[in-house]
Amino acid sequence: MSEKTFPLTYDELKDVVKKYPTPFHIYDEKKIRATLRALNHAFRWAPKFRNQFAVKALPNPRIVQILHEEGAGTDCSSLAELVLSDVAGVKGEEILLTSNDTPADEFQKAIELGAIINLDDISHLDYLEENAGLPKCLCFRYNPGDLMEGNDIIGKPTEAKYGLTRGQLFEAYKMAQDKGVKRFGLHTMVASNERRTEAFLFTAKLMFGLAKELQERLGIHVEFLDLGGGFGIPYRPEEDPLDLEAIGEGIHKLYDEMMVPAGLGDVAIFTECGRLITGPSGWLVSTVIHEKKTYKDYIGLDSCMANLMRPAMYGAYHHITIAGKESQPCDHRYDITGSLCENNDKFAIDRMLPEIEIGDLLIIHDTGAHGSAMGFNYNGKLWCAELLLREDGSIELIRRAETLADHFATLTGFDGAMMGNK
């Protein structure tokens, strides 16, 4: 079971709302730090273990700075994420660029920052060399195909656009060797929101076998194995959280059995968890502004799927509580909706909740990853604020709410004042 709690009392939340109007995402610094420490502890046995925080999960430099203080690097997928990492104090080979149809300027920035580059396809090697040069340390992303299952979020490996086949993998490393690259890592990422311990052990066994084969066939002694992320969280209260210690010890046993006897006992282990680290430490807070009774009972919020896309995009479940009514019986059935001009703009369908009134503060749980990060401006909806609950109990604004002036700033031929912005 996973207890769904909120770190502020009802009165404390009302005080926050007076200063920072809803909707907003709020993150718990203490919980974020504790989660990363738990992951680090589970892999304390591993040489030079590091979690490369998946910046796409929560691309805010304040969050990345906090995680870097706890020893994390970053896994980046864009130019903006590379720059964000650098600004947050993550430097050099603490940064990993995971290539995915990557344009030249992103490769160039990664080279400039001294980042490790993780290539997604064998053809990208020549493109990288021609447009940016080769990095000091290079790795390739392996797609195991039918050997592993996927899910609705990341897709089946055989149908996913990511990674190299087994045959391509060895060819790519040989090509990189021939081009003069001396230092290598090995990467895979085939799971998303996975909560089965055995899935992570299978991935580790697969990667350890590949590392041994790279050494035997090409003489490549990889410096690190990035086992990817995909560590799931319990979105539903009835679900159990991952047993990180069991995962860590299971991988430790495989490492000792497979890597150490092969002379690979110095190979570092990386993960690239994002959702695990920040997901359960974030909440979207909204105000109830409408109730509509037609064929169903609809509760309308001042937020919409532009603030949290996952329920509409994946049919994902996010737990919902009503501030101040946590102990009341869930005896009313509602669809919880936003104002976007799309019928799938629903945070919950047929959800049993306490009776809701106009003005209630509604809390959507587990939005600390792929929440604000997946925001968009359809219908001219504006990005909401992000707040940080500091360890001392204070509230820090780490992203202000977007304004109309921001929204219209990139248009040409228009005066912002004409749009109602002074």
Judged on CB neighbours under 10 Å (0-12, 13-18, 19+), 119 is buried
Q: Which helix (H) or strand (E) holds 6?
A: none
Judged on CB neighbours under 10 Å (0-12, 13-18, 19+), 316 is middle
Rounded-to-10 torsion of CA 269, 275, 276, 281: 140
Judged on CB neighbours under 10 Å (0-12, 13-18, 19+), 157 is buried
**Alpha helices (H) in 117-241, listed in sequence order:** 124-131, 166-178, 197-218
User: Any idea which residue has 């603030």 for tokens?
Assistant: 307
Instruction: Transcribe 53-86 into DSSP letters.
Output: EEGGG---HHHHHHHHHTT-EEEE-SHHHHHHHH
Tokens encoding 208: 């350890």
Taken in order 109, 114, 115, 116, is the CA torsion positive or negative? positive
For the chain, give the number of residues.
Answer: 422
User: Residues with Cβ < 8 Å from 401, sequence gap 6 or more?
Assistant: 21, 24, 382, 383, 384, 385
Out of 137, 273, 341, 384, pick the active-site residue.
341
Closest to 271 measured CA to CA, from 234, 253, 244, 235: 244
Compute the half-sphere exposure of residue 233: CA atoms within 13 Å on the CB side of its CA: 25
Active-site residue 384, yes or no? no
Contact 30, 392 (CB under 8 A): no
Compute the half-sphere exposure of residue 412: CA atoms within 13 Å on the CB side of its CA: 0
Catalytic residue numbers, as ranges: 341
